[in-house]
A and B are shown apart, each in its own frame.
Chain A
Amino acid sequence: MGRVLGAAFTIHEGINSVNTHSYGPESRGGSCRSEVVVSKGEIYYPNVRKADILVALSQPALDTYKRDLKEEGIVLIDPNSVKDVPKSLVCYGVPAMEIAHSVGNVKYLNSVVLGALAALLKSMIKKESLKSAVSENVPPKTIEKNLEAFEKGWTHIMNANMAVAEYEKEN
């Protein structure tokens, strides 16, 4: 997911990005984490110092890494896997596993989340750039399904935003 996001910024938007990833304590095959730093300037220190957005797809991931989030940072979760979110955080939910199932395979989960992320980052990066990066980084036979998953993730967040806007308007 980090690779696709980084490639979308660097290859399709011409903005510098650095992607690092780490293994969990069980070495390979355990928990994992991927970080993306984006900047119009040069990026020296490759890791995230304080994150603007944290995507947490499991409860332990959120519990461990919320310390790296800025105070006003945003967290994107799958509400079916992450139940306990601190009230202080700005939280968006996308039932990524469920949507991926409905598209045909849980493997499309990453594309759902990328679609949701695209909606959250829409002031920074064009949706089309991310879609192109998805197409270039998945097996050719699965492009259509991955893009369908991406669109569903995008729509979910856009609808949620509209619902919030309407709610705020009414109150």
Chain B
Amino acid sequence: MVEAAVKEKKYPGNFRRPYIKAGRHYLEGSEACVEGALVAGLKVYAGYPITPASEIMEHASRRLPQFGGRFIQMEDEISAACALIGASWAGAKAMTATSSPGFSLMQEAISFSIMTETPLLIVDVQRPGPGQGYITTSQEDVMQARYGHHGEGPIIALAPSSVQDMFELTIEAFNLSEKWRTPVLLMVEETVAHLREQLIVPELDTIELIKRKKPQDLNISPETYLPYGHDIVPPMANFGEGYNINHVGLVHSEDGNVSNYSLKVHRENIDRLHQKIEGNVNEIARIESQFLDDCDHVLICYGSVARTGLEAVKEVREVHGIKIGFIRLVTLWPFPEEKLRSLISKVKNVFVPEMNLGMIKHPITEALRDKCDRVISIPEIGALHSPEKLIDQIIKGSTC
């Protein structure tokens, strides 16, 4: 698909160094993220630099102009996120990357783009907080991702754990945002953003790319077009294509009208936004698992902690003979409660190591309320758990 687009010269600009080649590469997570975004069709990057997310911005500034894309350094994170909304409504795939303090500033725009159903990608390379915190690694924004923005707005958030994930999940994030017409968050940690390891790029024409539905594709005329109607995911016209668009953050009816407010209109608006994401959680959310067949205990983790988690689980099984299973949440939000419940019949202990004081532990506890004896949080602040720490905690927890 991508190759065909290149051959047809659909992409303007100077192709000095086109898409990343299929095959083996040795890249940093940040570079893999940008390369994935370019393959997905990234056209606009607007951002403001911040450690440890700046490498994504730097790489985008080098690469995007080679694709005829637009790179803009904005005056702050608020305007960066808002620029993406404009770019998206003009028809471009748009992204930014920031770190925790900048992510806080973007919350208003995230809420606005949920309400206006604007596809865009925000990468949060998390650092510890509160305040400016520090520049090391963290998973302290996973609740901010879901509840940081105001209002009942569902969100999609993914958690990569390798350089390969940084490439693949960036493409998946763009696909999800286009398919469900919603902002998507890539919740990265400094560990993965700055990691260098192997990246295997598949043949580009085998990569599936999803584009937003447009009224033109569904033979909807400008006269009959409803910018927030027709389907649970409304088709999206670009500005300047002859379709009337009310781009509104106020509660609105299907035609984007805010003046015919009623409780019924309000409820329908919010229910559809909610149902669009939470109602399709089983299609959206992904979970990976190992060793669940015979396990007495299970370790549930996400992001880079999943790397230490798997190493610890393997060692505990092999060396100490403790039957423990491994689950990695690839998707954090919408929370895959049903999928998680279906994987586990009954276990004694659920261990949840996180680089915060226990955040995703809460939805896990709720989901597995009758499936385990207890949920044990293994917190770490400012650094990746060492395998020794996890092994020690698992042994202690499973023997008492």
B-chain residues with CB within 8 Å of residue A17 when the two chains form the complex: 26, 197-198
- Asked if B196 and A18 make an inter-chain contact with CB atoms under 8 angstroms apart, the answer reads yes
Q: Mark B194-207, 1 if CB is under 8 A from A, else 0.
A: 11111000000000
Distance (whole angstroms) from the CB of A161 to the closest CB of chain B: 29
In the complex, residue of chain B having the shortest beta-carbon distance to the beta carbon of A8: B26
In the complex, residue of chain A having the shortest beta-carbon distance to the beta carbon of B197: A18
- Asked if B195 and A44 make an inter-chain contact with CB atoms under 8 angstroms apart, the answer reads no
- Asked if A44 and B197 make an inter-chain contact with CB atoms under 8 angstroms apart, the answer reads no
B-chain residues with CB within 8 Å of residue A169 when the two chains form the complex: none
Measured in the bound complex, the distance between the Cα atoms of B25 and A15 in whole Å is 12
In the complex, residue of chain A having the shortest beta-carbon distance to the beta carbon of B385: A45
Which residues 91-128 in A have Cβ within 8 Å of B in the complex?
none
Partner of B135 from the list A11, A27, A47 (CB cut-off 8 Å) is: A27
B116 at the A/B interface (Cβ < 8 Å)?
no
In the complex, residue of chain A having the shortest beta-carbon distance to the beta carbon of B134: A27
Distance (whole angstroms) from the CB of B136 to the closest CB of chain A: 8
Q: Which of B1-9, B57-65, B307-315, B349-357 contacts A (4 or more CB under 8 A)?
A: B307-315
Distance (whole angstroms) from the CB of A31 to the closest CB of chain B: 14
Measured in the bound complex, the distance between the Cα atoms of B134 and A27 in whole Å is 9
Measured in the bound complex, the distance between the Cα atoms of B162 and A43 in whole Å is 10
- Asked if B197 and A45 make an inter-chain contact with CB atoms under 8 angstroms apart, the answer reads no
Given A3-B196, A17-B197, A44-B310 contact (CB < 8 Å) = yes
In the complex, residue of chain B having the shortest beta-carbon distance to the beta carbon of A17: B197
- Asked if B308 and A44 make an inter-chain contact with CB atoms under 8 angstroms apart, the answer reads yes
Partner of A21 from the list B136, B194, B198, B304 (CB cut-off 8 Å) is: B194
B51 at the A/B interface (Cβ < 8 Å)?
yes
A-chain residues with CB within 8 Å of residue B198 when the two chains form the complex: 10, 16-17
Measured in the bound complex, the distance between the Cα atoms of B124 and A156 in whole Å is 46
A-chain residues with CB within 8 Å of residue B25 when the two chains form the complex: 11
- Asked if A10 and B26 make an inter-chain contact with CB atoms under 8 angstroms apart, the answer reads yes
Q: Mark B12-44, 1 if CB is under 8 A from A, else 0.
A: 000000000000111000000000000000000
Partner of A19 from the list B191, B196, B387 (CB cut-off 8 Å) is: B196
- Asked if A10 and B24 make an inter-chain contact with CB atoms under 8 angstroms apart, the answer reads yes
Q: Mark B298-335, 1 if CB is under 8 A from A, else 0.
A: 00000010011011001000000000000000000000
Which residues 196-232 in B have Cβ within 8 Å of A in the complex?
196-198
Distance (whole angstroms) from the CB of A125 to the closest CB of chain B: 14
Given A7-B26, A18-B195, A23-B135 contact (CB < 8 Å) = yes
- Asked if B194 and A11 make an inter-chain contact with CB atoms under 8 angstroms apart, the answer reads no
Secondary structure at chain A's binding surface: helix, strand, loop or mixed? mixed
A80 at the A/B interface (Cβ < 8 Å)?
no
Distance (whole angstroms) from the CB of A163 to the closest CB of chain B: 35
B-chain residues with CB within 8 Å of residue A60 when the two chains form the complex: none
Distance (whole angstroms) from the CB of B135 to the closest CB of chain A: 6
B-chain residues with CB within 8 Å of residue A45 when the two chains form the complex: 307-308, 311, 384, 386-387
Measured in the bound complex, the distance between the Cα atoms of B29 and A18 in whole Å is 11
- Asked if A10 and B197 make an inter-chain contact with CB atoms under 8 angstroms apart, the answer reads yes
A49 at the A/B interface (Cβ < 8 Å)?
yes
Given A10-B24, A11-B24, A27-B51, A43-B197 contact (CB < 8 Å) = yes
Partner of B384 from the list A2, A10, A18, A47 (CB cut-off 8 Å) is: A47
Partner of B194 from the list A6, A20, A43, A49 (CB cut-off 8 Å) is: A20
Distance (whole angstroms) from the CB of B86 to the closest CB of chain A: 32
Measured in the bound complex, the distance between the Cα atoms of B132 and A164 in whole Å is 53
Given A10-B24, A19-B197, A46-B51 contact (CB < 8 Å) = no
Measured in the bound complex, the distance between the Cα atoms of B197 and A19 in whole Å is 6
Measured in the bound complex, the distance between the Cα atoms of B125 and A135 in whole Å is 31
A-chain residues with CB within 8 Å of residue B310 when the two chains form the complex: 44
Measured in the bound complex, the distance between the Cα atoms of B318 and A77 in whole Å is 38
Distance (whole angstroms) from the CB of A114 to the closest CB of chain B: 15
A28 at the A/B interface (Cβ < 8 Å)?
yes
Measured in the bound complex, the distance between the Cα atoms of B194 and A30 in whole Å is 17
A-chain residues with CB within 8 Å of residue B195 when the two chains form the complex: 18-20, 46
Q: Mark B264-302, 1 if CB is under 8 A from A, else 0.
A: 000000000000000000000000000000000000000
- Asked if A49 and B387 make an inter-chain contact with CB atoms under 8 angstroms apart, the answer reads yes
Which residues of A are interface residues toward B (Cβ below 8 A)? 2-3, 6-7, 10-11, 16-23, 27-28, 43-47, 49
A–B complex contacts, Cβ < 8 Å, 5 sampled = A6-B197, A10-B26, A11-B26, A20-B196, A46-B195
The 8 closest A-B pairs by CB, nearest first: A44-B311, A19-B196, A7-B26, A45-B311, A44-B307, A18-B197, A45-B308, A44-B310
